[in-house]
Structure 1
Amino acid sequence: MRIPYEYATIQACPQVERGELLNVGVLLYCHRRDFLEAGIHLVPERLLALDPGADVHAVRTALGAWVAACAGGGAAHGMSLGERFRWLVAPRSTILRAGPVHMGLATDPAEELERLVSKLVKV
């Protein structure tokens, strides 16, 4: 049986004023399966193509914080999965941000996360 889920891409925007984006991950939330995870794939060369001065280590560290927030760590401690997802996808003007939230149907949220990362990030 296919069940609904929500997802958003995680985008790196190394120079906010230029508005150039690079998909570096996907957040996927499925209420029915109590599932919230981030699939991350950062290619440093792509980031440096947008901004040769980008701090790749800082971006990796920030992505790690997004993964930790999915698991309930850091500032997300004590939030429900749905609250964490909404907090992570809230608009922000930083080097990492979430794209628009989209809906889908899948039988296995973990497999769907892998598929979305392959389709939207690893291309």
Structure 2
Amino acid sequence: MPSPDDAFQYAIWRVVPSVERGEALNVGVVVYCRRRQFLAARVLVDEARLRALSPDLDVDAMRRHLDGMVRVAAGDPDGGTIATMPQSERFGWLTAASSTSVQPSPIHTGLCGDPQAVLDRLYTRLVA
């Protein structure tokens, strides 16, 4: 049975349209709580803000990429082979520095009683 407060981890996903310029826009957050068997992500692709950073950015391709990451977090079969992995491995994959255009923040930790509420709060505060 989960304790009132269980450890969780999270990372912010950032779009970095131009590595040379170093500008980034927070576009999503992923939260993992092993004890509660919770892994979920939320994204927001704000086209106007992205275009302000990079007028030539392929926003539709970026949206598809991020939607795929959300599907992987959810374990959705449409997310491909990685979506079938255990939650801990998916979280590791989702927080690995594997793309130059979508970059994860360092992993942060905390304690929570409701990881969905944490995801909602982090999304509102850091992304939306």
On whether the aligned pair clears a TM of 0.5, the verdict is: yes
Q: TM-score, structure 2 length as denominator? A: 0.89
Counterpart of 1:85 in structure 2 is 91
In 2, the alpha carbon distance for the partners of 1:21 and 1:92 equals 16
- The question of whether the paired residues in 1 share the 8 Å contact of 2:73 and 2:83 is answered with no
Q: What count of residue pairs does the alignment treat as equivalent? A: 122
1:114 CA displacement: 0.4
Percent identity, please: 45
Identify unmatched segments of 5+ residues in structure 2.
none
Deviates more, 1:92-101 or 1:18-27: 92-101
1:119 aligns with 125
Which residue, out of 28, 31, 35, partners 1:32? 35
Q: CA deviation at 1:55?
A: 1.1
- After superposition, what is the alpha-carbon deviation per residue over 1:48-107, rounded to whole angstroms, capped at 9, x for unaligned? 111011111111101111011112331414311000000111112421121110001111
Q: Does 1:96 align with 2:92?
A: no
> How far apart in 1 are the matches of 2:39 and 2:17?
26
Q: Deviations over 1:14-36 (max 9, x none)?
A: 11222211100000000011011
**1:59 corresponds to:** 62
Distance 2:37 2:23 in 1: 33
**Contact preservation (8 Å) 1:16, 1:93:** no
Contact 2:7–2:109, Cα closer than 8 Å, also in 1: yes
SS at match of 1:54: coil
From 92, 105, 111, the counterpart of 1:105? 111
